[in-house]
Structure 1
Amino acid sequence: MEDSRFDGANFKAAVVDRVTFKRSDLRNVNFAAAVLSGSTFEDANVENTDFSDVVIGDFEQRSLCKNPTLKGSHPKTGVDTRESLGCRS
């Protein structure tokens, strides 16, 4: 899934584990309640993405929290992107 475009996709409650989203466009994606364990998001654009209640490993979460595009809020759910992933300010 490297270098892929998923702008606006709905992965709500999906099992998306062990997927490499390196350099992918994940803007406005809804991952709410999805299983993302083992997935990587290196250099992915995650602006306005909803990560509410996802299952994700600590390493992946910490890495995502450092992503400069982790900002905004999902256009349909209204959920703040950083807060949905549980990142500290």
Structure 2
Amino acid sequence: MVLLSLLVPVVLPLVLAAQPALAITAPELRSQRSLQDLQPDMHGRNLQQQEFLKASLEGFDLSDTDLRGAVFNTANLQNANLQGADLEDAVAFASRFDGADLRGAVLRNAMLMNSKFTAAVIEGADFTDAVLDLPQQKALCARASGTNPRTGVDTRDSLACR
């Protein structure tokens, strides 16, 4: 019994150390795995709930792509083709959509805080209940036009333009 009590403090830590460590994968690592499958032409793909953290998607063709619930935090989508894309419930914090083609895109309930849309084409885009910074909303209202072909919502109405 004495020998056992002397061995337990020495052997038990060695046995526990031999067990594999379990850890939650960091979002950036999950994002890197999903980015491995990305190609410049992603037209019409199903990318629901994918994570594109710090992703460079500049100039990518994401037209008619299902991006519902996708996360684009600090992503670069400059000059990307998002025409007809479904971005409902997407999160794009501090992302760049400068020069992106968002014609006919659905951005309902999207969280778009700190994101930039300089020179983005938004004709027929539906921003219903999307969360935007006020300066971005005003800038988008200045050029908003058209009606979304899928939802039937006027772009100006979806942005609550005055």
- TM-score grouping bracket, smaller chain normalisation: over 0.9
Q: TM-score, normalised by structure 2?
A: 0.52
Aligned counterpart, 1:85:
159
Alignment of 1:5-16 (within 5 A): 5-16=81-92
Q: Deviation of residue 11 (structure 1)? A: 0.5
Alpha-carbon distance, 1:12 to partner: 0.2
Structure 2 counterparts to residues 38-57 of structure 1, below 5 A? 38-57=114-133
User: Would you identify which runs of 4 or more consecutive aligned residues in structure 1 move more than 2 Å?
Assistant: none
Identity over the aligned pairs, expressed in percent?
A: 38
Amino acid across the alignment from 1:36: L
- Name structure 1 gaps, 5 residues minimum: none
In the comparison of the two structures, how many residue pairs are matched? 86
How do residues 5-84 of structure 1 correspond to structure 2 at under 5 angstroms? 5-67=81-143, 70-84=144-158
- Post-superposition shift, 1:63? 1.3
Counterpart CA distance in 2 for 1:80 and 1:4 is 23
Unaligned runs of 5+ in 2: 1-76
Counterpart secondary structure, 1:4: coil
Q: Which has the larger radius of gyration?
A: 2
Paired residue type of 2:154: D
* Higher relative contact order, chain-length normalized (CA < 8 Å, sep 6+): 1
Q: Deviations along 1:5-56, whole A, 9 cap, x unmatched? A: 0111000011112111111111010000000111111111000000000111
What is the DSSP-based 3-state SS (H/G/I as helix, E as strand, rest coil) of the residue aligned with 1:41?
Answer: coil
Measure how far apart 1:84 and its partner are. 0.4
Secondary structure at 2:95's aligned position in 1?
A: coil
* TM-score, normalised relative to structure 1: 0.92
